[in-house]
Each structure stands twice: as C-alpha cells, then as structure tokens.
Amino acid sequence: MKPPVKIIMAAGKIPNGSTVTKLRGTKEYLLKGEIRVFPVSVSSKERRARKEAGEELPKAQIIKALGGTCFLVCDGDANAIPSTLELIWLARPDAAIAVLKQTPYDDSEICILCGHYEED
C-alpha cells in the first residue's frame, strides 16, 4: 500500500471524514462536519430495566458545525476549528487526485508535500 499524499490546505476544503494533522504536529485527527454526543453510558442491567419499564432511552445528540467551522476529532475528544485553518490532509493518492480535479485551486491555496514513492 502506498503511503498517503500529504497536502496542506484549508480545513474547509478537505473532504469530511478525512485524516489530518496540524501543521506542527504528528497526532492524527478525523475532520468532521458533525459529531454525535452520547449521554453518559448506563449499565446493560439498568438499560434492560428501563426498557422493560417502557422508558425511552436517551439518544445521541448530533451537533453540526456552523458555517465557517468544522471539528477535529481524536480519542473521543472533539474541538471546533475555523474552516480557514490550514491542516495537513493525509490523503490516498486517488482521493487527492479526485478532489484536486473537482475544484479549481489557486496556487497559494494548497501545498503538496513530496516524499519518496515507489511504483508497485
């Protein structure tokens, strides 16, 4: 499997669900347009008792990023960031080509970080 292509671009232009890193870091995050917040978990015994009693179990809340923002998610934590923040997109080569072909970019909007790639 080929290593990912690293592309520096604004968070708002990176596809939802992509793996990214911050410019000065190596920790990987998922870039998301919405997150689900689950209520405090209850034991399966308590869950069964509530269900048998006919009580409605709490459901996850969906929080959508407002215009101009998105979420960085890692290890159960989510942080809102501006969609203009530059990140490094760790893209599969085919996904990167598809996105770059779809949307015209100004030369100043992206930077592809080159590495050593070998043909299969």
In this prediction, residue 15 has a pLDDT band, given cuts at 50, 70 and 90, of: very high
Please state whether 54 falls in left (phi above 0), alpha (psi between -120 and 50) or beta: left
For the segment 10-29, the average pLDDT, to the nearest whole number, is 94
- The whole-model pTM stands at 0.75
pLDDT of residue 45 exceeding 90 = no
* pLDDT tens for each residue of 29-44: 999 999 988 777 667 7
3-state secondary structure of 32: strand
Judge contact between 8 and 113, C-beta under 8 A.
Answer: yes
DSSP 13: G
